């Protein structure tokens, strides 16, 4: 306990003493958990515009909802991502995934937080890893981000309410139908009372096809979640690869 407390203090002192560094390249910057001007230019921030449901850019139209969401309303009522997937956002995601870098989770949370809807009934739920992967890696990168979002927004996080019970291969290269089949039944609710009647905000690091998040949403809805939303650090914005 004392050792832990000492380490926490030491880390705090270190954070306090060291100048903030760019999350992209490591040069010293003025503002904590941000990017230098050079890296800033390489990041495409997506903002809160686009389709009210999926967040994708809208074609010239009066509608607030895109054609795809009108034709087939997604289970996830609102999807937002901080940045478009690209080299620099990818490098942050990889460093978080394999390095347990809390500073990176904080940087991501800083840019994701404004996109989280203010709902008194909301809880944050990270997209879970299968336990075999969790054991190997030791942590879930999305849970780190959810924890930082929770701190920033004072929204409770439920990192164990949703479990991944099936190991799934990478979905890259699969057809939408194959992807849906692969992730079907991959998730289970561990704690129904934590979910029922809530607005569940799923937290993910990188959103590619959306199939995994949709499978999470299906499980959450069955367990009585009132509404499911998703906030992610980065998202692939090539339209052909998105959602359904
Ligand atoms: Zn930089
Ligand atoms: Zn849409």
If you measure from the C-alpha of residue 82 to the centroid of ligand 1, how many angstroms do you get, rounded to a whole number? 17
Q: Is the pLDDT of residue 244 over 50?
A: no
pTM over 0.85: yes
Q: Rounded mean pLDDT of 168-177?
A: 87
Band (pLDDT 50/70/90 cuts) for residue 237 is confident
Query: Can you give the pLDDT at residue 40?
Result: 93
Instruction: Give the position of tokens 């990478």.
Output: 170
Task: Please give the pLDDT value at position 202.
Answer: 98
| Residues at Cβ < 5 Å from ligand 1 ion | 22, 24-25, 36, 39
Percentage with pLDDT > 90 across the chain: 68
27 has pLDDT over 90: yes
Cα–Cα distance, 79 to 202 (Å, whole number) = 9
Q: Is residue 16 very low, low, confident or very high in pLDDT (cuts 50, 70, 90)?
A: low
Query: What is the mean pLDDT of the segment spanning 136-141?
Result: 90
pLDDT at 11 over 50: yes
Cα of 172 vs centre of ligand 2, distance in Å, is 22
Hey, what are 122's tokens? 């909301």
The per-residue pLDDT for 164 is 95
Closest by Cα among 215, 210, 218, 219 to 240: 210
The residue with greater pLDDT, 243 or 25, is: 25
Give the pLDDT confidence of 37-76 residue by residue, as tens digits.
Answer: 999 999 999 989 899 999 988 876 778 999 999 999 999 9
pLDDT digits (tens, 9 = 90+) for 114-134: 999 988 999 999 999 999 888
Task: Please give the pLDDT value at position 183.
Answer: 92
Average pLDDT along the chain: 89
pLDDT of residue 136: 87
* Helix (H), strand (E) at residue 201: strand 199-207
Ligand found nearest the CA of 40 = 1
Closest CA to 24 of 151, 111, 114: 111
Structure tokens at 188: 């289970």
Higher pLDDT, residue 1 or 40: 40
pLDDT for the residue numbered 1: 52
Query: 43 alpha carbon to ligand 1 midpoint, in Å?
Result: 10
């Amino acid at each position: 306990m004392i050792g832990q407390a000492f380490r926490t203090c030491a880390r705090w002192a270190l954070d306090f003493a060291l100048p903030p560094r760019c999350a992209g390249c490591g040069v010293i910057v003025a503002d904590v958990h941000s990017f230098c001007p050079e890296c800033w230019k390489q990041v495409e921030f997506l903002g809160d515009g686009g389709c009210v449901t999926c967040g994708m850019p809208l074609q010239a139209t009066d509608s607030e909802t895109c054609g795809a969401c009108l034709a087939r309303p997604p289970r996830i009522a609102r999807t937002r991502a901080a940045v478009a997937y690209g080299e620099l956002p990818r490098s942050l995601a990889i460093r978080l995934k394999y390095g347990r870098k809390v500073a990176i989770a904080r940087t991501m949370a800083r840019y994701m937080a404004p996109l989280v809807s203010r709902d008194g009934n909301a809880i944050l739920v990270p997209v879970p890893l299968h336990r075999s992967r969790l054991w190997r890696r030791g942590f879930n990168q999305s849970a780190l981000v959810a924890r930082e979002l929770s701190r920033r927004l004072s929204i409770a996080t439920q990192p164990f309410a949703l479990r991944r019970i099936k190991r799934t291969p990478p979905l890259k290269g699969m057809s939408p139908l194959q992807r849906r089949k692969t992730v079907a039944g991959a998730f289970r609710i561990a704690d129904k009372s934590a979910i029922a009647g809530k607005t569940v905000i799923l937290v993910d690091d990188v959103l590619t096809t959306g199939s995994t998040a949709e499978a999470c949403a299906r499980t959450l809805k069955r367990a009585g979640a009132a509404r499911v939303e998703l906030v992610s650090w980065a998202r692939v914005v090539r339209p052909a690869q998105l959602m359904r």
